[in-house]
Amino acid sequence: MTITIYGIKSCDTMKKALTKLDDLGVEYNFHNYKKQVIDKDSVQRWVAILGVDKVLNKRGTTWRKLSDEQKTTADTDEIAAIELLLANTSMIKRPIVEGVHKDKQVLLCGFDENAFNTAFL
């Protein structure tokens, strides 16, 4: 498995992450949520490992546009939260970076320069 970075090109956080991977010399595949579907297994894996609170971006406009009922359901029902993430990929915190680098499993959510340095140096 190679490194895959999931997100959208227009996101400033994504731009920072892509630049950092380039600066570190990390080869990666880019998965664009706007052009490619994300599979349920991947989202379930991320939520299982990182937690729904880490993967679900509650700071974006997509979250704010949800009804109070949808927000409450997402907060109390992990399966419902995963379904919302699949239907609204812009609610997945960006970037998600996943794969194997130098025989080490990597799964990062969000951009943290220190975490990237630790994972890829």
For residue 47, the tally of other CB atoms under 10 A from its CB is 20
The active-site residue, picked from 11, 50, 66, 115, is 11
Where does the chain have alpha helices with state H?
A: 12-23, 40-50, 52-55, 61-65, 68-76, 78-87, 113-120
Torsion of CA 7, 12, 13, 14, to 10 degrees: 30
Q: What sign does the dihedral 10-84-81-31 (CA atoms) show?
A: negative
| Among 63, 43, 66, residue whose Cα is nearest residue 55 | 43
Whether 109 is a known active-site residue: answer: no
Per-residue pLDDT tens digits of the chain, which is 121 residues long: 589 999 998 899 999 999 999 999 999 999 999 899 999 999 999 999 999 999 999 999 999 999 999 999 999 999 999 999 999 999 999 999 999 999 999 999 999 999 999 999 8
Domain 3-120 has CATH 3.40.30.10: yes
User: What single letter denotes the amino acid at residue 45?
Assistant: R
User: What single letter denotes the amino acid at residue 25?
Assistant: G
CA 99 to chain CA mean position, Å: 13
